[in-house]
Amino acid sequence: MELHITCIPGDGIGPEIVTEAKKVLDKVAEKYGHNMIYTDILMGGASIDVHGVPLTDEAIETAKAADAVLMGSIGGNTTTSPWYQLPPNLRPEAGLLKIRKALNLFANLRPAVLYDELAAACPLKEEISKAGFDMMIMRELTGGLYFGERKTIEENGVRKAIDTLTYDENEIRRIAIKGFDIAMKRKKKVTSVDKANVLDSSRLWRKVVEEVAKDYPEVTLEHMLVDNCAMQLVKDPSQFDVILTENMFGDILSDEASMVTGSIGMLASASLNDTRFGLYEPSHGSAPDIAGKNIANPIATILSAAMMLRYTFDLDQEAAAVEAAVEAVLKEGYRTIDIMSEGCEQVSCSVMGDLLAEKIR
């Protein structure tokens, strides 16, 4: 199978971690008989330095022509980098917003997994963390409060700000279908999170999700109010499989879920459109303070590549091989500096990539 992948190394540690992800993908291709075809484009500060803008139209067209996009990280030091002396629409992160819009990436996937070997880093009590957890936060990315009409006015001498929360049934249906499709690849459970006791948008959300659920009889659906979900994430995270929710709730809950894993360097993410196309990236930032030192943790990017294999290319076996390699290397006690603990062996970014590639079976 030919896999056409556009790579965005980006800024900071981005080039280093993307290099290691390619190393693992190449080993997957070798073991399973695929052909990886990479095309690199510039985005963020790297693009500003060359083209004067964070993302060119030509780069977007290159991304559109691929099957998927694998990204490192975007941005730099916001206080010292000249990139942040530019107008907001020309700063590095503007490229990310532009590509999301151009590629119609409406579904954000944020897995949160607690590995046995990293359980000590989990901030939850041991009686909770010992159960482990493996969940997927499914967040609608292009609608809701963040994209609704907004204005600030003065009314009777009093300043007043208005933000509008709007969803139509088609926006809800397409993210719900993605959520149920992904649940079918996992433990076949969807927890739909809303605020249906207060918000009309949530009541519509709940109705449409229930309509979609009828097409997935194998999947168990439960509804949960967002405040309860926030509590349950720290009380019993093992109960969740796929959490399906709207933009603002997903923004908050995905950050909460990431913190209970104890290590942001392990967190993958993906943004999908209404085809199999997706943009895959680690959840962490560009870490300019450690760029070029070969000490970054590439695992989040490599796990993002595993998500790409599973959700864009439908290569579940290959994705599982990458995930198993991560578990095996952690079990053998190898750690990058960010997840280092007593009794383990510290390795560099490139050595971690080598170790993971060697474990692909």
* Burial class for 90, CB neighbours closer than 10 Å (0-12, 13-18, 19+): middle
**Alpha-carbon distance values, 142 to 50, 190, 223 (Å):** 29, 21, 22
Fold of 123-261: Isopropylmalate Dehydrogenase (3.40.718)
> Could you state, in order of their start, the residue ranges of all structural domains in the chain?
1-107+265-361, 123-261
Percent helix / strand / coil, the chain, rounded to 5: 50, 20, 30
Give the bridge partners for 298, in sequence order. Answer: none
Residue bearing tokens 């929710």 = 245
pLDDT of residue 136: 97
Note if 314 is an active site residue: no
* Catalytic entry in 115, 195, 241, 334: 195
How does DSSP classify residue 216?
A: -
Give the bridge partners for 155, in sequence order. Answer: 158
* Catalytic entry in 163, 227, 236, 274: 227
* pLDDT block averages, 10 residues each, the chain of length 361: 97 98 98 98 98 98 98 95 96 93 95 90 90 95 92 96 97 97 96 98 98 98 98 97 98 92 88 95 94 97 98 96 97 95 96 98 92
Tokens of 346: 């510290």
Q: Which CATH number fits domain 1-107+265-361: 3.20.19.10, 3.40.50.300, 3.40.1390.20, 3.40.718.10?
A: 3.40.718.10
**Alpha-carbon distance values, 23 to 19, 33, 270, 313 (Å):** 6, 15, 20, 18
pLDDT of residue 353: 98
288 three-state secondary structure: helix
Contacts of 320 (CB under 8 A, 6+ apart): none
End-to-end CA distance of the chain: 18
Of 361, 358, 353, nearest in space to 22 by CA: 353
Of 60, 8, 24, nearest in space to 280 by CA: 8
Note if 22 is an active site residue: no
CA distance 60 to 102: 7
Helices (H), the chain: 14-32, 45-51, 57-65, 92-102, 126-129, 169-184, 200-213, 226-235, 247-261, 299-311, 316-331, 349-358
Note if 274 is an active site residue: no
125 three-state secondary structure: coil
* Catalytic entry in 146, 188, 189, 338: 146
Tokens of 179: 């959520």
Residue type, 346: Q
**Alpha-carbon distance values, 356 to 21, 27, 167, 323, 346 (Å):** 9, 9, 42, 9, 14
* Catalytic entry in 251, 280, 311, 334: 251
DSSP of 141-170: -SSGGGGS-EEEEEETTEEEEEE-----HH
List, for residues 124-146, the tens digit of each pLDDT value: 999 999 889 999 999 999 999 99
pLDDT of residue 11: 98
Q: Please check whether residue 62 is in contact with residue 39, taking contact to mean a CB–CB distance below 8 angstroms.
A: yes
Q: Please check whether residue 353 is in contact with residue 20, taking contact to mean a CB–CB distance below 8 angstroms.
A: yes
List, for residues 228-248, the tens digit of each pLDDT value: 999 999 999 999 999 999 999
pLDDT of residue 93: 93
* Catalytic entry in 116, 236, 255, 274: 255
The strand pair at 345-346 and 158-163 is best described as: unpaired
In our burial notation (b when 16+ CB lie closer than 10 A, e otherwise), range 183-200 reads beebeebbbbbbbbeeee
Cα–chain-centroid distance for residue 353? Answer: 20
Answer whether 1-107+265-361 and 123-261 agree in fold: yes
